[in-house]
Structure 1
Amino acid sequence: MRLLVPLYVHPAVEPEIWQAVAAAGPDRIGAVVLNVADGPGPAPDHAFAAAADKLHRSGIQVLGYADTAYGRRPHAEVTTDLLHHREWYGVDGVYFDQVSAHPDALPHYRRLATAARAAGCGTVVLGHGSHPDPEYADVGLADCLVTFEGDWKDYQELEPPPWTKRHPPARFCHLVYGVPVAAADMVGHLAAVRGVGLGCAVPADGANPWGGLPFGLPPAPRGAESAR
C-alpha cells in the first residue's frame, strides 16, 4: 500500500518529519496533504512553500487541503482556498475534506471538482471519512475517495459495501490513527483485503493525530536537514 500522508505539522516545528517523507520518494509516497491552517492560511507561509518545493523535487505529489464542511461552505470560498494553494505552494492537486456522503450533495462536489481541474489540479481527492453514495466513485468526479478515517478499533470492524469491488484499489484510501505498534502491519493487510490501495496509519490519536511520522517510514538521518 502506498501512503497518502496528511502531514498536519509546521515544517519549521518538525522539519525532520517533512525530511523523512521527502526522502521516502514517490515509490512509497502517493501524495502528501499540505494543510497550513485548515486550508492555505491567510497569506503565503514561506516554510510551507519550501517544504512543498522539496517534496516536488523528490518527485512526490502535493495536495492542498480545502475544508468543505460537508457541503455547507460556499463554492466560492472553497475554490478560493484551492486557488491560493496553487498560487502560493504550487500544489499538484486538492484534498477536499469533510465531504458529504449524501447523493443530494453530488452536484456541489461535481462543480468543485470541475473548478479544481480548471485551476490546474491534476488530482482530486474527496475526504468523506466513510463510505459515500456509490455515485461519488463515478469516473470524472474524483481520482480517490477516502472512505475511512478513524481509530484502530473502528477500523478492525469496518465492512466495505459491495459496490467498492467494482473499482480498482487506487480509487480508495483509508486513514487510521491510534494504531498500536504491534498492529502496524495489520493495517496494510486489512486495507489490501478490502481493496484499498492508498492509506496512512499513525500511532497518535487526539485532536490532531496527523502531526507525526506514519508507520512504514524510517526517520530522516540525523543532521540531514541541516546538511541540505
Structure 2
Amino acid sequence: MRRSVILAAAVAVLAVGAGISATSASAAATTQHIAVPAYFNPSGSTYWTQLAQSAPAVGVAIANPNNGPGTAFDQGYANAIRAAADAGVRVIGYVDTGYFGTTGRTTRNGQTTTAAWTTQSEGDVATWYSLYGFYGLGGIFFDDGLADCAHVGLYQAVNTYTKQNHAGAYTVDNPGTAAEQCYADAADTIVMFEGSYASYTGWSAPAWELGYADPNKFYHLVYATPSQANEANAMTLSKQRNAGYVYVTPDDLPNPWDTLPTGSYWSDELTRAGGTGPGGGTTTPPPVGSCASAPGSGAVTAISACRDTTSLRFKATYNTAVSLHHVYLNTDNNAATGFQLPSPSPSRLGADYMIENNILYRSLSSGWSWAAVGGVSPGMTVSGSTYSWTVPLSALPGLAATQQAVFNGNTVYTGVLTYGQ
C-alpha cells in the first residue's frame, strides 16, 4: 500500500481465500473503527481536518509523507498529527518493509538483504518518533508485508523493536492478503484484505479470522467502491468477516488513498462503523492532556510543556551551542521546596526535578544538590537545534494538579510555563 503505487502482484493474491464463506463465521464485529490510509499532505487539502472531525468513528489514520517519515521535520504534518490525536484519532507512521528483500526490492541504499531492510525499517521507526513523537504519534504501520509463517519472525522482531523503544506504540502489519495465524502476535492488527470492491465481494476470510475473539486484530481496505450502496454492502461484509477496522473508498488505482470520501457516502460509512470510542486495537490510544507553550526569545525559543495520563513532555529550540540542556520542574506547585533557580532566572521556581541532557535528577535541597533517578531516561531526541524529552509520570511521585517548567542553557533562563490537567 505504498503512497503512489499498489503492487499488481499483491492485488492478484487478494482473491485467494480459505474456502470458508463469511456466513459461517463464529465471530463477527458488531462495532468498528474506520482506519484511514491518509496519504495526502495536510498542507494541500482539508482531508486531515475532515479526519479529526470524524472521530470517534475514525479511530486510526496512517501518515505517509514520503513512503515513510522522510528525513526532514514537516510542521504541517506535526500540526495534523497533534490535531488528530487531540480529537481521539490514533495516528501511526508508514514504514515500508519491502518484503524484507525477498522479492528483490532494494532499500534506499540499494541493498536487498534481510538485514539491510531490517536496519532501514527500524531506522524509519526511530525517525518517525524523533520527528513526530512529541506531537502524539501513536504507532507504526508496516507495509509491503509477508503473510507466511516462514517469515513471521522478521515482523515479530520489528514489532518488538518498536514496542520496546516506544511504550504504548500500536502496530499494524500489511501483507495485503490473508496472513497465516502465526501473525496474530506479530502486530496488534493485521491487514487481511486490500483490494477492489469487486474482489471483496467474492473474497473469503480465513477460518482463524472468522473465529477470532477480538475483531480489532483485523483490518480490511476496500477501494474502487463506486456507489453508496456498494459502500453499505462492503461495510456489512466487513462486519460479517470480523474486521474491527475497515476503510471503504470510491477512489481507485494508481493511488486509492490520496482522497477521502465526502458527503452522504462518508457519513453513511461513519454511521455503519458504529465506533463510539478512540480506536487503536489492543493498546491504549495516545492520551490527550494539557499543554502550554511560549515563543521564548534569544537563545531558547519555541518552548512547550505537556502533561497527559502517562507522561510529561517538553520541547525547546536552543539557538546557541550549549553543552548542558536543562529543564527545571516544579512538580509539587510549591516554590518553597526544591532547588531555587539563581539569577538571571526570572523565577526561583523551586525545582523538585531537573532534566540535564538525557538524565533525570531529583533535588535534595534548595541548593545545587541532586540525585539521579534510577531506571528512568527522559528519552531526549534532537532534530536540528530542537530538543524534546518525555518523562513517565511513574518517575515523579506526588505530582500536583498543575506544574511549572523553566528551560535553561548556559546563563539563559526562560519564563515559567504552567501546565497540567
After TM superposition, the score normalised by the length of structure 2 is: 0.49
Shift of 1:165: 2.6
Matched, 1:95 2:155: no
Question: Per the alignment, do residues 9 and 106 of structure 1 end up closer, same or farther by CA in structure 2, a change over 3 Å counting?
Answer: same
Moved over 3 A (4+): none
Report Cα offsets for 1:159-209 as digits up to 9, x if no partner: 011121332211100001100123111111000111111110111102111
Aligned to 1:21: 51
Aligned to 2:370: none
Matched, 1:50 2:79: yes
CA distance in 2, matches of 1:179, 1:166: 27
Choose from 141, 144, 154 the match for 2:189: 144
Structure 1 vs Structure 2 CA RMSD: 1.4
Give the % identical residues.
Answer: 29
Q: Tell me, yes or no, if the aligned pair for 2:71 and 2:127 is still in contact at 8 Å.
A: no
Shift of 1:137: 1.2
Shift of 1:133: 1.6
Choose from 105, 119, 132 the match for 2:151: 105
Aligned to 1:172: 218
Shift of 1:5: 0.5
Of Structure 1 and Structure 2, the greater helix share is in 1
Report Cα offsets for 1:26-66 as digits up to 9, x if no partner: x2112100001000012111111111111111121110000
Aligned to 1:7: 38
User: Which residue identity lines up with residue 148 of structure 2 in the other structure?
Assistant: H
Matched, 1:189 2:236: yes
Aligned to 1:223: none
- Kindly tell me the number of residue pairs found equivalent between the two proteins: 214
Unpaired runs of at least 5, structure 1: 219-228
Aligned to 1:134: 181
Matched, 1:123 2:170: yes
Q: Tell me, yes or no, if the aligned pair for 1:67 and 1:96 is still in contact at 8 Å.
A: yes
User: Which residue identity lines up with residue 163 of structure 1 in the other structure?
Assistant: W
Q: Tell me, yes or no, if the aligned pair for 1:152 and 1:178 is still in contact at 8 Å.
A: yes
User: Which residue identity lines up with residue 171 of structure 1 in the other structure?
Assistant: K
Relative contact order (alpha carbons < 8 A, sep ≥ 6): 1 or 2 greater? 1
Matched, 1:216 2:269: no
User: Which residue identity lines up with residue 92 of structure 2 in the other structure?
Assistant: L
Shift of 1:217: 4.2
Matched, 1:203 2:234: no
